[in-house]
Amino acid sequence: MDSSPNQDAEFFYPSQQIVDNAIIQDYEALYKQSVDDPQAFWAARANELEWAKKWDKVLDDSKAPFYKWFTGGVTNIITNAIDRHLKTAHKNKLALIWEGEPGDSRTFSYFALNREVSKFANVLKSLGVRKGDIVTIYMPRIPEMVFAMLACAKIGAGHSVVYGGFSVEALAARIEDAQSKVLITADGGWMRGKIVNLKEIADEAMSRQPTIESCIVVKRTGQSIYMEAGRDYWYHDLISLPIASPNCPTEPMDAEDMLFILYTSGTTGRPKGIIHTHGGYMVYTYTTFKYVFDIKEEDRYWCAADPGWITGHSYIVYAPLINGATSFMYEGAPNHPYPNRWWQMVEKYGISILYTSPTAIRGLMRFGNAWANRHDLSSLRLLGSVGEPINPEAWRWYYTVIGKERCPIMDTWWQTETGGFMISPLPVTPLKPGSATKPLFGIIADVVNEEGHPVAAGEEGYLVIKAPWPGMLRTIYKDPERYQTQYWGKYGNMYQAGDSARKDKDGYIWVIGRIDDVIKVSGYRLGTAEVESALVSHPSVAEAAAIGLPHELKGNAIYCYVILKAGVDKNDKLAEELRQHVGHEIGPIARPEHITFVDSLPKTRSGKIMRRVLKARAQGLPEGDLSTLEE
């Protein structure tokens, strides 16, 4: 990647037209109001939505850091994402436009979406799914994935979506943790002209974790697959049964009831089940989407993430629907069959807001400007970026070649844990390439040192959030202790994000990257420990260490150091076999870039691998304090 961002860079200002049409024109004034009286601010936003019963308390902090929001309130996120639109002109507005990789397309109005979701909700009920159960969803990017998530929410079941790029062990571990009895998957999905064999992976995962009693399979590719009698059912068969009526009441939920669980990588091998709720998450995603993407009735919004990640949960599925927006979703790869695929769809569907990741931008930038220039991109009004810091070179390309210097870039910093955007510009904010700019309403973000004191302007420190917010995770599933120590343990009263950052003299925040054993590969979050345990599960491996090193396209790439069992031969064939093994266990995104065979690993006297030393060595950098090194 190019040189580090320039904090003194010139500002990029929005056009007068953008400013005049923005919902929020004075960030400073509303920000001040929101942090002076956050409860009044959030109550006002919550009041824009529908509740079966209003809350007694906006924030209950009596058991901090186990904060509760809108306690006593009763609603269901579906009441606001679907039901309320059926009573307005939104009823016949498009909720979802979808295009498959082979070029097929489908559209659903809010009315049609309600029908699909209700029918499937009735199917889930007939399979015994009850309020509070957790249903695992493992799907390609097709409309049924959205229906499945919404159907669970409608009947009060939690969904646990496992990204379709994950593989056997990742899926099995998540099924096991959630103790899911129902799995929803597909016969496959299209990616770069090839079929991803989701059902085959699901079969292997189910054989490792036999909790699944019913597996529902959507026919997407039509290829022949194994169907186990009494366990596996076709989606299209189930929704044709009389039980699948298009009428299904939306289950009233307490504001604090679980909406979903989403697993994310942390510092240990076991992924953390992040819990979000119906009330606070609904209000938070609704508000952040409305203000940051400045959503208009006529917008066609495209978040190019996968619904299997938090970006998709919050900003493909829930926030756009709560706002009554039209969301576009595409199944496949950006460069298939040619690198103009995305730009062709922007033109074809008249996309006005495009939200993607730095890694995707870098990937498309590499094909040059001509592919984008062949298309009319004048429908675009706003651009967005998420997942990792965006390097200024990619920012400038996105801004000039895609946005034609008309479209401000919303660089949104947030996490699975935060539920929604935390640090982000608004369309009116003067931008600096590479900075997510300033905290959003109600969010007090700061950069502090080891003792928790703010560091001087321009100095590196830990990124923290100093007050709770409605979209925050409530806990880690079955592990409240880990929630407390991981996020609140260091300072007690501040949420530690796990990122390092700088705040410049203008108060702009520049996120640098993870400070824990989490690696961002192409914006995907992976734990070094998960990669290591996948390696160690191979019969030839005795010990392994994984680190992230800078990579031009991926941001970071995984490098592994492996000690083989006695008598095993070190050779390239085995290195390749180990890479494939990691891909098979976790998923292609986790496949190491390179494997080096070693005879020892740098460890502390207590036996912990010093990944920081491996990283420094690999980059030829000073190795720092080695006093705890055992070698």
Contacting residues toward ligand WT7, per CB under 6 A: 264, 310-311, 386-389, 411-416, 436, 497-499, 511, 513-514, 520, 525
Residue nearer to ligand WT7 on the CB measure, 386 or 447? 386
The CA-CA-CA angle for residues 245, 251, 257, to 5°, reads: 145
Smallest separation (angstroms) from ligand WT7 to the CB of 183: 23
Residue nearer to ligand WT7 on the CB measure, 239 or 463? 463
Q: Are 140 and 196 in contact (CB under 8 A)?
A: yes
Residue nearer to ligand WT7 on the CB measure, 181 or 520? 520
Characterise 541 by phi-psi region: left (phi > 0), alpha (psi -120 to 50), beta (else): beta
Residue nearer to ligand WT7 on the CB measure, 387 or 587? 387
Residue nearer to ligand WT7 on the CB measure, 290 or 520? 520
Half-sphere exposure of residue 483: CA atoms within 13 angstroms, side-chain side: 18
Smallest separation (angstroms) from ligand WT7 to the CB of 355: 10
CA 598 → CA 168, 595, 601, distances in Å? 28, 10, 7
Residue nearer to ligand WT7 on the CB measure, 30 or 512? 512
Q: What is the DSSP letter of 409?
A: E
Smallest separation (angstroms) from ligand WT7 to the CB of 498: 6
Smallest separation (angstroms) from ligand WT7 to the CB of 521: 11
Residue nearer to ligand WT7 on the CB measure, 117 or 171? 171
- Tell me the sheet residues that pair with 68: 60
Amino acid at site 28: E
CA gap 397, 166 in Å, rounded: 31
CA gap 93, 84 in Å, rounded: 13
Smallest separation (angstroms) from ligand WT7 to the CB of 57: 28
Terminal CA-CA length for the chain:
34
- Give the closest residue to 326 by CA, choosing from 85, 584, 572: 85
CA gap 361, 384 in Å, rounded: 11
- Tell me the sheet residues that pair with 258: 277
Q: How many beta carbons lie within 10 A of that of residue 391, not counting itself?
A: 21
Residue nearer to ligand WT7 on the CB measure, 189 or 387? 387
What are the backbone dihedrals phi and psi of residue 492, each rounded to the nearest 5 degrees, phi first? 85, -55
Residue nearer to ligand WT7 on the CB measure, 310 or 407? 310
Q: What is the DSSP letter of 424?
A: -
Q: How many beta carbons lie within 10 A of that of residue 370, not counting itself?
A: 10
